Structure 1
Amino acid sequence: MKITLVSPTPLDIFAPGVRILSSYMKEHGHKTKLIFLPGNLLKLRFEKEHVYHYPKDTMEEIVGLCRDSDLIGISFMTQYFDRAVQLTKFIKERLPLPVIWGGIHSTIKPEESIKYADMICIGEGEEPLLELTEKMEKNKEPYGVRNIWFNRNGNVIRNDLRPLIQDLDSLPFFDYDLDDHYIYDIEARHIIKMDNAMLEKSLPTGLGPGNKMQRAYRSMTDRGCPHKCAYCAVGMIKDMYASQRYLRRRSVRHSIEEIVQIKKRFPFVQLIQFFDDTFFARPLNEIEEFSVAYKEKVRLPFHCQGSPTTITEEKLKLLIDAGLVFVEMGIQSGSEKTQRLYNRTTPNKFILKAASTLNRYKSSLLSPCYHIILDNPWESKEDIKKTLDLVLDLPRPFWLKIASLTLYPQTMLYRKAKEENLIQDEFRDIYRKPFCFSKGSYLNYLIYLAGFNWFPRLVLRMLSNDWFVKLMERERLRGVYFTLYRFSDLLHKTGRGIRTILRGDTFRLSLYVHRFKNYCLNLGRTSADV
């Protein structure tokens, strides 16, 4: 059988779900086609009622690519729901082919998802998709396949879950064969065949040694997370598999072999980004094994993520020796009350200890990135000030990645918000919310400024005085702070561009020019909505 997998994806086209499914199906003798539809969420930042959609000519191209398929799969995250619905309706109106949805949204909102698709996959997709296609190929009734729900003429068939795959080494690597891969080209404004040149252009970038921008390959060496944060869907999924081992890891040998193959095939890859939720959660002996193998066989700089309770000096030294240049760490809040709400009860002294550990190796590492969550409806001004105080105590240099709290379906905070009637419209408040951009407020703006290493901390501490907060934190000034944020962000990017020119980082400069060109091309056009 031939399966076409369509991925409305962020601009990085990482799309690990469809890539592993494609490899798995090929390994078992089936043909696959991948269609990547990279798109951002920027318009949601400035147009709160904006609904993303694909232009009709792009939809027609997708339909044309799907005509020779036996099954069409669409995998997406919650923020791409509108695009997935539009795709599904357009395809079903024009092709007599079954459509199956997968990805995190189908797992957390199955009753909603099955209204749009013929089938949905809940949980891991490799084994159920293989069983489904083999039953379809043999003209057998497929309605008992575990992990899959069926919409049979309006009647929903809900099947049980199958066990999680425990041996991740039994799975193939992510599919980067490019044989039957297609991508929407933002500049050309149509879907083109993927080749090495287009892949190089489309892969994400990241900072390498000397703050030089480099082309990056992203990978994951585990499935699951050691934490159970109240704002994350992992908690709900852990509950689904309560009797099973949820955090599973690939062997060092398997992970390294994948990277070696990618490095050999795509010499333009200069940086590796490990997207495991908490790479540092591995025990010390595994970190040591990985570090030795990576240093010997890969020899490329890499990024990874950690948490305050998993970052230790022993692990950090080993990883730096192997090539680690950048670490991200989740802090989220400096308020003990909010930390309890988030189920992230790590005392601030341990957060500061982890940050100090990273700071001791600042000569070997790029400035670390710390994650902060704002716009929490249960936080008081005092809670937000505690986060600001914690940020001001962090050793410099660092930078902040600030997110606006999004109450994703079925998370613990979502259920709390529903009970308290805080969610009025799920589409507006969740699906179409620009989670990367916090609201305009005085304290939010101070936290934003605290992320700049040159800004005087004494000034920020003075500006966070109760008298200033009472004077400046007013609803009618929200628009002012939002404008200030945009202006400050523009100044920051301008300064970064100047530093790029002074350093002679021509690759990074070319990226800025490319992004500006695309911005000008897309300005005000609905065809930019992809």
Structure 2
Amino acid sequence: NNFYVRINGKENKNPVRHLGNDDLDWLAHPDYDIEDHKILENGQIIHFQERHLNGMIFFQTERGCPQACSYCTNNIMSELYKGKGNLLRTHSVDYVITELKRLKNKFPSIGVFDLRDETFTIRNIKWLREFCERYKKEVGIRFKCLAEPASMSSESMSEEKLRLLVDAGLTDIIIGIQSGSDRLNFEVYNRFITQEQLLKCANVANKFSDKLAIMYDIITANPYETTEDILETIKVVIQIPPPFYVSINNLIYFEGTPLYDRALKDGYIKTDKDSASTLNYWDRWAHIKLKKKNEYLTLVLNLMRGPSTKKRIGLMPRKVLNYLIKENVIDYNLKHLFPTYVAGNMVSWMDYAREHGVKPLYNMTPVSFKVWYDKIRYHA
């Protein structure tokens, strides 16, 4: 299966095998045993302990993704297995519930399951009804999931799905929007999701905001973004009904993806450093400086990360944000980068303090605190 073998001095590459039927339940259960696992902690290799789970387990109920985004490694898998079977396959409800119950009993400190399927809300309503009914009765702890606007823009169906999930214990949902610019989503990211779908999705999700922490994922620090693209993203986020949480992610090129190949061809990537893969992921200003484009608006967008209310979006009071995106203010800061670089370096120091001060202190807290904090951290 995909091996290279040498026969009579000639190298031959075996093709990948067919994925088989759509039934995932015949596969072995994932290995969650920790007895023989090791972890690097404070420069020492030690035995993995339950406390390292931080009260949360990541779990997948499906394989594959309905999207083929140009920046994502799922795109590579789609190409690799094209014509080799159905890429989007789902476990049965019985398999999922049985496994979650086993993990809950195995690790008593677990307070939440993070269901990391690419788009959990794409499930058909029959599967979700059975899952939610059984999860509430048999598992009974909070859980999180991922979603995307296209699968949640049908108001009646999306509202029914969310009502079932919230009643079963869903407390956090992460919705990937990536950009508020239709041009960027369509032409660069290969994501056929519109502003209209996003805002419909946001209005549906907002109906459950008293019980549900809603996070919106955005990608920026992308040299293919124009000033207009970033401005559209900022303006779309302003239109989302609060409360919600904004997660800003700065672009890293993954080798082998269409976006990586495009950036390589266009001269944006000349060395490994240019892919941003060697940077500290959490140092926002380092990513912005590396891309050397739209520094001002990209920094403004990064400062919108965090809980959002009627009065603020992340660190930015809405009145200040509206001022910063005025045409004359943007024009000034595009011509005079010094204020942006001063603010950017301040942000870099903030990120350093969080990574080297706050996080180590957090890691020292008991699991019970981490479970409690995780429950409230994304609520505005």
TM (norm. structure 1) is 0.59
Distance in 2 (alpha carbons) for counterparts of 1:288 and 1:314: 10
Distance in 1 (alpha carbons) for counterparts of 2:257 and 2:115: 25
1:289 shift after superposition: 1.2
1:476 shift after superposition: 4.5
In the alignment, what sits opposite 1:129?
Answer: none
Gaps of 5+ in 1: 1-145, 205-214, 513-530
How high is the sequence identity, in percent, across the aligned residues? Answer: 31
Once the two structures are superposed, what CA deviation does each residue of 1:101-129 show, in whole Å capped at 9, x if it has no partner? xxxxxxxxxxxxxxxxxxxxxxxxxxxxx
Matches for 1:355-394 after TM superposition, within 5 Å: 355-366=202-213, 368-394=214-240
Moved over 6 A (4+): 490-493, 509-512
Once the two structures are superposed, what CA deviation does each residue of 1:304-341 show, in whole Å capped at 9, x if it has no partner? 00000112111100001110000001111111210112
How many aligned residue pairs are there? 341
Contact 2:56 2:111 in 1 (8 A): yes
Gaps of 5+ in 2: 153-157, 290-294, 375-380
Once the two structures are superposed, what CA deviation does each residue of 1:166-213 show, in whole Å capped at 9, x if it has no partner? 3210112211223422222x13x322233xxx2x22114xxxxxxxxx
In the alignment, structure 1 residue 413 sits paired with structure 2 residue 275: no
Once the two structures are superposed, what CA deviation does each residue of 1:113-157 show, in whole Å capped at 9, x if it has no partner? xxxxxxxxxxxxxxxxxxxxxxxxxxxxxxxxx2233589x9855
In the alignment, structure 1 residue 229 sits paired with structure 2 residue 79: no
In the alignment, structure 1 residue 444 sits paired with structure 2 residue 298: yes
In the alignment, structure 1 residue 248 sits paired with structure 2 residue 124: no
In the alignment, structure 1 residue 456 sits paired with structure 2 residue 306: no
1:238 shift after superposition: 1.0
Contact 1:278 1:306 in 2 (8 A): yes
1:509 shift after superposition: 11
Letter in 1 for 2:65: C
Distance in 1 (alpha carbons) for counterparts of 2:96 and 2:6: 38
Gap change, CA 1:421 and 1:510, over 3 Å in 2: same
Structure having the higher Rg:
1
Once the two structures are superposed, what CA deviation does each residue of 1:206-259 show, in whole Å capped at 9, x if it has no partner? xxxxxxxxx111101111001111111222321222222111111111111111
Gap change, CA 1:491 and 1:179, over 3 Å in 2: closer
In the alignment, structure 1 residue 481 sits paired with structure 2 residue 343: yes
In the alignment, what sits opposite 1:164?
Answer: 19
Contact 2:62 2:90 in 1 (8 A): yes
Gap change, CA 1:443 and 1:323, over 3 Å in 2: same
Alignment partner of 2:248: what SS?
A: strand
Distance in 2 (alpha carbons) for counterparts of 1:219 and 1:488: 32
Distance in 2 (alpha carbons) for counterparts of 1:478 and 1:424: 26
Contact 2:61 2:115 in 1 (8 A): yes
In the alignment, what sits opposite 1:32?
Answer: none
Contact 1:332 1:371 in 2 (8 A): yes
Corresponding residue to 2:246 among 397, 400, 408:
400
1:401 shift after superposition: 1.5
In the alignment, what sits opposite 1:181?
Answer: 37
In the alignment, structure 1 residue 337 sits paired with structure 2 residue 198: no
What is the root-mean-square deviation of aligned Cα atoms in Å?
A: 2.9
Matches for 1:276-291 after TM superposition, within 5 Å: 276-291=117-132
Distance in 1 (alpha carbons) for counterparts of 2:25 and 2:138: 19
Distance in 2 (alpha carbons) for counterparts of 1:176 and 1:419: 42
Distance in 1 (alpha carbons) for counterparts of 2:159 and 2:35: 44
Gap change, CA 1:150 and 1:400, over 3 Å in 2: farther
In the alignment, what sits opposite 2:330?
Answer: 469
In the alignment, structure 1 residue 202 sits paired with structure 2 residue 58: no
Contact 1:392 1:450 in 2 (8 A): no
Letter in 2 for 1:247: L
Distance in 2 (alpha carbons) for counterparts of 1:264 and 1:359: 34
